[in-house]
Structure formats: C-alpha cells, structure tokens
C-alpha cells in the first residue's frame, strides 16, 4: 500500500494502471518491546522511490535519524493492460487449504533457529 501510494504521488501515476513487481524481501521487520510495553527503540519505515520506478523499504532509527536495514525492494511498473495482470481468487485459494494454522505455529521454527521474532 505504501509503495503504491508513493508511486502515485512521486511518479505521477494517479489514474493509470500500474503494479509492483520483482518484490524481494531481505530481512524481517522486527519491533522489540522494552519495559512497560513500549518499543525498545523508536523505529519507523522509510520508503525510497527512485525516478526509474525502483523502490526500497527500510527501517529508520528515529533517535539517530539514520536508515538501519533494507527490508524489501522491487519495481513499480506504470501502464499496461489490467487484463494482462495475474489475478488470484483468494476465496478459491482458501478453499484448497486443508487446515487452519495459528500464526504462532509458523513463527516458532524460525525463532528456534535464531530469527529475532
């Protein structure tokens, strides 16, 4: 959503058909709680959109005013026919699932191998 809104604003794509592609994820975005249930470090998301349509999403240390880690990147593609875009029927995909998985069950294996979740 942030990437699409930024592309619309910065690249002048309002009212045109466009999408994001070649999305890659480099690192998880993890917010750690400190004492009293407050964030241990005030962290924002920082989106950079370049004139060629390339974008990166990074974490931003508010106290030190610096970019920390790039979490994802991709490309904004402006134009093209809507019909040429792949469409996923989410209800049909859900109907093919044979079990409901609790989100904590998904994170447990990753936390055991060292991911800071």
In a domain, 115, yes or no: no
**What 3-state class would DSSP assign to 50?**
coil
At residue 72, the pLDDT reads: 92
Specify the number of domains making up the chain. 1
Q: What's the rounded Cα separation, in Å, for the pair 76 and 50?
A: 10
Q: What's the rounded Cα separation, in Å, for the pair 24 and 21?
A: 9
Q: What's the rounded Cα separation, in Å, for the pair 44 and 31?
A: 10
Are 76 and 53 contacting, i.e. CB atoms less than 8 angstroms apart?
A: yes
Q: What's the rounded Cα separation, in Å, for the pair 100 and 114?
A: 25
Lowest mean pLDDT among 40-49, 78-87, 107-116: 78-87
Structural domain that includes position 59: 2-83
Which whole number is the average pLDDT over 89-104?
A: 89
At residue 65, the pLDDT reads: 93
Are 20 and 8 contacting, i.e. CB atoms less than 8 angstroms apart?
A: no
What are 7-63's pLDDT values in tens digits?
677 666 667 777 788 999 998 887 777 788 777 788 888 888 888 888 899 999 999
Are 27 and 45 contacting, i.e. CB atoms less than 8 angstroms apart?
A: no
In a domain, 20, yes or no: yes
In a domain, 7, yes or no: yes
In a domain, 96, yes or no: no
Are 7 and 55 contacting, i.e. CB atoms less than 8 angstroms apart?
A: yes
In a domain, 92, yes or no: no
């Amino acid at each position: 959503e942030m990437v699409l809104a930024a592309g619309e604003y910065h690249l002048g794509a309002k009212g045109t058909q466009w999408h994001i592609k070649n999305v890659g994820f480099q690192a998880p975005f993890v917010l750690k709680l400190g004492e009293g249930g407050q964030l241990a470090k005030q962290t924002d998301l920082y989106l950079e959109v370049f004139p060629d349509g390339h974008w990166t999403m990074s974490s931003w240390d508010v106290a030190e005013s610096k970019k920390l880690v790039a979490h994802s990147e991709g490309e904004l593609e402006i134009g093209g026919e809507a019909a040429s875009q792949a469409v996923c029927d989410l209800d049909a995909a859900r109907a093919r699932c044979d079990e409901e998985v609790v989100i904590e069950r998904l994170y447990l294996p990753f936390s055991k191998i060292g991911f800071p979740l």
